[in-house]
Amino acid sequence: MRINVVLSLLKKELLNIIRDKKSFIIMILLPLLLFPFMVGIMSVVMSSFTKVDQVIKFGVNYEITDDFNEFVDGYSDKYKIEIIKDTTENLEKRFENEEIGIYVINDQNDYILHYDENNTTTFANCSIVEAIYQDYREEYLSEKLNELDIDYEAIKDTFNIKFEQESVTEMGSLIPSVISMVLVMIISSVCFSVAIDVTTSEKEKGTLETLLSLPIKKSELITSKYITVFLLSSMAGFLTYISLFCTLFFASNTLSKLGVMSITISFKILIIYLISILLISLLFSGLLLSVTIFSKNLKEAQNSLYPLEIFVTIVSMLPMFGIKTSMKLALIPFVNISLLFNSTLSSTIDLSFVIISFLSTIIYSILLIIVLSKLYNQEDILFSSKALSYIKFKNGKSQTICFSVMTSLLIALIVLVLSYYFSFIFINSSKYLLFAIMPFTILIVVTIASLLVHLDFKSCFKLNGFKLRKFHIYVMIYVSAYIIGNFVLEFLVKLFPQMLENYSQFGAILSADNLWLSVITIAFLPAVFEELLFRGVIFTSFNKKYGAIIAILFSALLFGIYHMNWIQGAYAFIIGTALAYIYLKSNSLFVPIIFHFINNLISVLLDYFSINIEIPKIYNLYFIICSIGLLILSIYLCEKKE
Amino acid sequence: MIEVNKVYKRFIKNTGKKEKEFYAVNNVSFKVDDGQIYGVLGQNGAGKTTLLRIISGIMEPTKGIVLVDDLNYKKSAEIIKNQIAFLSGNTKLYENITPRELLRIFGNIYGISKNVLEERIDEVIKLLNMQEFQDNKIGNLSTGQVQRTNIARCFIHNPKYYILDEATAGLDVMSSQIIIDFIKNEKKRGKTIIYSTHYMEEAENICDKVIFINHGKIVCEDTPKNVLKITKTNNMRDAFFSLIGGQNED
């Protein structure tokens, strides 16, 4: 890759985009003006219902002290305040009849403010009432402390922190979420428009052909495009960032009226924030470029990007629902950065969360870049435009017989990431849904990949018939693998008893209450689609390049990793080697599918009828030696007949 | 010398539900000697564009090889492309860049050193009479001016070979004359030009040799005079019909 060529291309892209008026508005004016505009609008709206002469009426269910009355009188120059004393039940009735908008219930030391959150006037009034109570609390505290000869001013700061936080979680948590959402949306929309500009419009206008006739490598071309999208979107992010803090700085008065407490900005937060902007731009650029690259024209590009945009918007709204940061969330792209934005603004930062989020985002971006460069090397994707070819073509590359090793690894990785992602999203929903999602993930990823490389399904996945004559040997192989696998399982549990906890948790999820649903979702679907991935895709590609033994071991290894649990993984590894061997010998994907199904069915049935095999009694050494003997015999029979 | 050796290009045509395989370029071989103008003639969909794209390295052939000065695209694509300029009739340029900037960027990509490049740009701009609009955005230029800019960018690296794909299609008389003059001038300077068109008269006038393509195959390859002799016709148009006419149903 030649740097000066990439730079020249970059210059061309940047000049062409920045000089466009519409892009200029989206990339520079929108990020700069959005926050001041938002705050302006909000303050106008808020001031319309926080008028000075408005009567603030609220009910209380306790005797009001003279002190409190006096204190409230202090506000009379600002607001007219009317306090109604009544019983709790009457207050509730009045509240429902909308006689009063706010009432305060005293419960020992707590004063609970009730208000109608959907009514903006009472919402605003409530914040005033809350402020009065907060102020009163402070004065009350200082008086009490003075009685004890403690200078309140001196110790104020020591619990001031707690005091501030309470108000942030009550009132202010919405604002950082909105800010983080706006940020993510601005970065994504800039990426959106630039990605369309550099890929789809280039195709549509026919300039791509000129570019390809220049002495440029495709890698240089895609690098320059990636950098363009990345630079412009991160620039928009920075502009938003600058405008945000200018707004916070200059409009702090207005903001405090809106319930936003002063946001402290430390150097650390600044750095984390800047890196987050860079990373999210990096990820978005890769994602959007690899989507727009397929589109023939602008309309198609927009159609394919809108679902993505909606998805991102929803994800960036997650912090609003009060989701707390956790290590699992740090691995999920977009969600992690969106949470990070939020936490930097509300100044609660978990450093390990930051690091894991950053690392995972970088890894996802690298993955996307690999996918992107692969895509950009395919002529039918590059030339899928009407401006370039008047007949609707697909490149007639001969059908691929199997995936390359790199592609199959990529597929496995994508499936792993996606199933992890889905398992997290659906963790609280029905377990049947959770189990059904994984096979379908495999199906979708494998199908898309096969379509991209024009795979010959039948010969790659060996959807052939098989001979029943040899079937008894496969049964022998499977049975011995099953016994050895269970022995290893038992052995591991004895060796690492702490792992059993994890495993039994998993077992609890597995436990079946609906037999037919379990048979379909736990036994049948995984059997079919896991075989498709691990035997059909991975084993076949490795077998072609590195030979049978490495292919068997590696596909079984990935099969083990896929189970995301050490004990289950070890068992899956052993069964995986047997299944791969059976696949190799039978030359039909249906055979390992049958055994995989049987294997899953056994565990479903054992669980359903809660049969507990007394494992130690059965698995004595003699039994193991027998099964190893059986294994050797069956392998011998297999090899001999060849 | 450009040598096209048994080149095939297979596409899959989507006709409704069925996918039909066909060869846009089907076993095409010919040689282009230096200093010649070579015309590629054929109707729409005959495979001209695909063939020229393969020769200029924009597409890869399914089978066969293209040699340019004994180099092939697999090993030394960048070196070959430095000697080639490709211009197609529907090439548009970047709208928000000025001709001068465009030439500078393309010159950089072709690896011309800075001092030489500025001189070269001035020279090219003078030659093509582009002084008035050299600093206007390309989006605001007229069709003729855009075409001149396009020629200028083909010109900038002083290539040995020009590959023009229906460069005059859809242009008015004045604009297409610019291109024809350009082709004639370059020939005088000893450059080689491969040139596709469906204006038969144009080809008859300027080409040293023509090839007729139909369904991806070469039907006839000879000098214009010989073609007229073989087909016993008076002009290229009739020759074209006698060679190709009646065979096409599409």
3-state secondary structure of A37: helix
B109 and B75 in a single domain? The answer is no
Please state whether beta strands B2-15 and B18-32 pair in parallel, antiparallel, or not at all (unpaired). antiparallel
Nearest-Cα residue of chain A relative to residue B105: A8
- Residues A310 and A375 occupy one common structural domain: yes
CB spacing of A212 vs B91 below 8 angstroms: no
Q: Which of A219-223, A308-312, B39-43 is least confident?
A: A308-312
Same domain, residue pair B154 and B165: no
Q: How far apart are CA A539 and CA A586, in angstroms?
A: 14
Residue A419 lies in a domain: no
Q: For B58, which of A17, A213, A392 is closest by C-beta distance?
A: A213
Which residue of chain B comes nearest to A386, CA vs CA?
B90
Instruction: State mean pLDDT over A481-489.
Output: 84
Whether B248 is covered by a domain: the verdict is no
A427 touches chain B (CB under 8 A): no
Are both B74 and B192 inside the same structural domain?
yes
Between CA B95 and CA A205 the distance in angstroms is 10
**Do A115 and A15 have their domain in common?**
no
Q: DSSP letter string over B93-158?
A: --TTS-HHHHHHHHHHHTT--HHHHHHHHHHHHHHTT-GGGTTS-GGGS-HHHHHHHHHHHHHTT-
Which residues of A are less than 8 Å from B90 in CB distance? 206, 387
The token pair that represents A20 in the structure block:
């466009």
User: What pLDDT, in 10s, does the model give residues A397-434?
Assistant: 455 667 778 788 888 888 888 877 777 777 666 777 77
Res. A257 pLDDT band, cuts 50 70 90: low
* A5, A17, A213 ranked by CB distance to B86: nearest: A213
pLDDT mean over A463-472: 78
pLDDT for residue A619: 57
- A392 touches B: beta carbon within 8 Å: yes
A83/A200 same-domain check: no
Q: How far apart are CA B170 and CA B89, in angstroms?
A: 8
* Domain-located, residue B186: yes
Nearest to A400 by CA among A445, A451, A452, A456: A456
Could you tell me the CA-to-CA distances from A622 to A22, A304, A619, A626, B118 in Å, in that order?
A: 79, 61, 8, 6, 88
Tell me, what DSSP letter sits at residue A258? T
The count of C-alpha atoms lying within 13 angstroms of the C-alpha of A469, restricted to the half-sphere facing its C-beta, is: 4
Q: What is the span of the domain harbouring residue A595? A: 460-641
Does residue B179 lie within any of the structural domains? Answer: yes
Do A376 and A521 lie in a common domain? no
Whether residues B103 and B220 share a domain: the answer is no
Domain contains A404? no
The pairs formed by A502-505 with CB atoms below 8 angstroms and a separation of 24 or more are: A502/A565, A502/A566, A502/A567, A503/A565, A503/A567, A503/A568
Decide if A396 and B12 are in contact by the 8 Å CB cutoff: yes
- Domain end position, chosen among B109, B138, B158: B158
Nearest to B59 by CA among A591, A424, A580, A383: A383
Whether A170 shows a pLDDT value over 70: the answer reads no
Contacts of residue A327, defined as CB under 8 A and 6 or more positions apart, other chains included, come to A352, A353, A356
Q: Are A440 and A521 in contact (CB under 8 A)?
A: no
d(CA A116, CA A98): 10
Q: What is the DSSP letter of A532?
A: I
DSSP letter (8 states) at residue A455:
B
**Is A451 within the bounds of a domain?**
no
Q: Which of A226-235, A393-402, A440-449 has the highest mean pLDDT?
A: A226-235
Instruction: Kindly report, residue by residue over B47-59, the tens digit of the pLDDT.
Output: 888 899 899 988 8
Q: How confident is the model at residue A395 (pLDDT cuts 50, 70, 90)?
A: very low
pLDDT, tens digit, 9 for 90 and up, residues A13-28: 888 888 888 888 888 8
pLDDT score of A128: 77
| B109 is a domain residue | yes
Q: How far is CA A595 from the centre of its chain?
A: 34
Instruction: Count how many domains chain A has.
Output: 3
* Residue A421: partners with Cβ closer than 8 Å, 6 or more residues away: A332
pTM confidence score = 0.64
Domain count, chain B: 2
Residue the block writes with tokens 């929309």 = A189
Structural domain includes residue A281:
yes
Domain hosting residue B168, numbered range: 34-60+67-83+161-232
Answer yes or no: do A19 and B13 touch at CB < 8 A.
no
CATH number of A123's domain = 3.40.190.10
**One domain, residues B73 and B178:** yes
Question: Is A177 among the domain residues?
Answer: yes
Per DSSP, the three-state class of B14 is strand
Nearest to B21 among A16, A209, A396 (CB): A396
> Is B15 a domain residue?
no
Coil, helix or strand at residue B56:
coil
Residues B53 and B175 in one domain: yes
Domain of residue B76, CATH code = 3.40.50.300
Q: What's B186's DSSP letter?
A: H
**Is residue B27 assigned to a domain?**
no
Regarding whether B223 and B169 lie in a shared domain, the answer is: yes
Q: Could you tell me if residue A337 is inside a domain?
A: yes
Of B136, B158, B180, which residue is a domain's last?
B158
pLDDT band at residue A229 under the 50/70/90 scheme: very high
Domain final residue pick, A145, A171, A197: A171
Query: Is A394 close to B97, i.e. CB distance below 8 A?
Result: no
- Residue A427: C-alpha distances to residues A300, A541, A596 (Å): 34, 33, 25
* Record: contact B12-A394, CB cut-off 8 A: yes
Give the chain B residue whose CA is nearest to the CA of A221: B109
Contact B94/A393, CB-based, under 8 Å?
Answer: no
A445 part of a folded domain: no
Residues A382 and A512 both lie in one domain: no
Q: Residue A228: pLDDT above 90?
A: yes
Question: Of A388, A415, A432, which closes a domain?
Answer: A388
Task: Find chain B residues with C-beta within 8 A of A379's C-beta.
Answer: 59-60
Q: Which of B110, B143, B158 is the last residue of a domain?
A: B158
pLDDT band at A47 (very low <50, low <70, confident <90, very high): low
Q: Is residue A559 part of a domain?
A: yes
- Would you call A394 and B11 a contact, using CB atoms and an 8 Å cutoff? yes
User: pLDDT at position A247, please?
Assistant: 79
Domain shared by A536 and A521, yes or no: yes
Mean pLDDT score of chain A? 77
User: Which residues of chain B fall below pLDDT 50?
Assistant: 248-250
Span A135-162, average pLDDT: 73
**Which DSSP state fits A201?**
H
Examine the domain organization and report whether B76 and B184 are in the same domain: yes
B168 shares a domain with B74: yes
Distance, CA of B112 to CA of B116 (rounded, Å): 7
